[in-house]
Amino acid sequence: MADEDAFGLLPGFVWAVTEAFAPAVAAYRFEQGDVIYRDRRGQGPLGTPLPDDLTAIQLLAPPRSARVVPSDFEGDRRQANWQSEVELELVDLARGRSESFATTQGRLFTALWKDDLSTLQGEGDDPPLPRSARELFALLREGVLAIGPVQGVRSGVRFLFVVDRSNDAARAKAVAIVDALHPLGPVEARDLDPIEAGAPDGDRFHPTLVIRELVLPDVEQEAVEAALRRALYGGSGEAERFSVGRHGLLERLGASEHA
């Protein structure tokens, strides 16, 4: 997996945004007391002297709350959070200097994501809300993405689905899928960010979104579909109502058939 995992960092951000901030990232709501470092060196014990270029952002407002992550159907709350105001200090730790800013959650998020501190100063247009997991899944389902063929596997199955690594439910679902497939044989996994997956305007998608590719060599498609049904079907009626296509893209390797 990506190098960020070894340091407990969320992927996609230039700044060292740790997994502890996953709820803030998912909801677009950083709060009073949050401290984010420009460099992963800020996550461990700091020696003396401090690194010359070590910088941090400390949130002064808004006040702390329960910080609930909106569901997929609460886009309005995400938009409201994105546009809401924050107060922060940009701190040069080595020199003991700080600069205060009043800005928005969206501008703060973009500064952490792209490392463009000019956004904190109100320069340029307000950044747009990042594109969502739902939009990325639609591109996957419609065959718009340019994900290359699996190399070195002559037969078997590939399952592709979207994971938001800042979302607890999405991560738990991804674990459940792999756990369900492991009894069938070895599962080869890799993550592709939207740019690597060939998404149009891939740099506009939320930075923690990935397409997860699971490859099962020499396994029948029917066995994979049955395992996914057991892991993902939550209905109380007939299991025939289950559709793999609602969760991802199932491909038989060595053939052009899709489920």
Structure tokens at 99: 């600069």
Dump pLDDT digits (tens) for 196-219: 999 999 999 999 999 999 999 999
What b-and-e string marks burial along 3-39, b requiring 16 or more CB atoms within 10 Å of the CB? ebeeeebbbbbebbbbbebbbbbbbbbbbeebebbbe
Mean pLDDT (whole number) for 124-140: 95
Task: Give the pLDDT mean for 125-137.
Answer: 95
Please provide residue 78's backbone torsions phi and psi, each rounded to the nearest 5 degrees.
-60, -45
Higher pLDDT, 144 or 42: 144
- DSSP codes joined into one string, 179-191: HHHGGGS--EEEE
- Asked whether residue 88 carries a pLDDT value surpassing 50, the answer given is yes
**pLDDT tens sequence across 64-80:** 986 665 555 455 889 99
**Amino acid symbol at 119:** T
Q: Which residues contact 47 (CB under 8 A, 6 or more apart)?
A: none
Residue type, 34: D
Q: Do the Cβ atoms of 259 and 244 come closer than 8 Å? A: yes
* Residue 210: other Cβ atoms inside 10 A: 27
Please count the residues of the chain.
259
**Which comes out higher in pLDDT, residue 28 or 93?**
28
Whole-number Å distance between alpha carbons of 104 and 118:
13
As given in the structure block, the two tokens for residue 148 are 């290359």
pLDDT digits (tens, 9 = 90+) for 6-56: 458 999 999 999 999 999 999 999 999 999 999 887 665 554 555 667 899
Which tokens go with 219? 């396994």
Check: CB of residue 253 under 8 Å from CB of residue 154. Answer: yes
Q: Dump pLDDT digits (tens) for 212-258.
A: 999 999 999 999 999 999 999 765 555 557 899 999 999 999 754 44
Q: How far is CA 27 from CA 64, 65, 68, 77, in A?
A: 14, 12, 7, 8
Mean pLDDT of 53-65: 92
185 Rama class: left (phi>0) / alpha (psi -120 to 50) / beta: left
Give the model's confidence band at 1: pLDDT under 50 very low, under 70 low, under 90 confident, else very high.
very low
Gyration radius from the chain CA atoms: 21
**Cα–Cα dist 259/251, whole Å:** 6
Q: Phi first, then psi: give them for residue 119, nearest 5 degrees.
A: -65, -30
d(CA 173, CA 62): 31
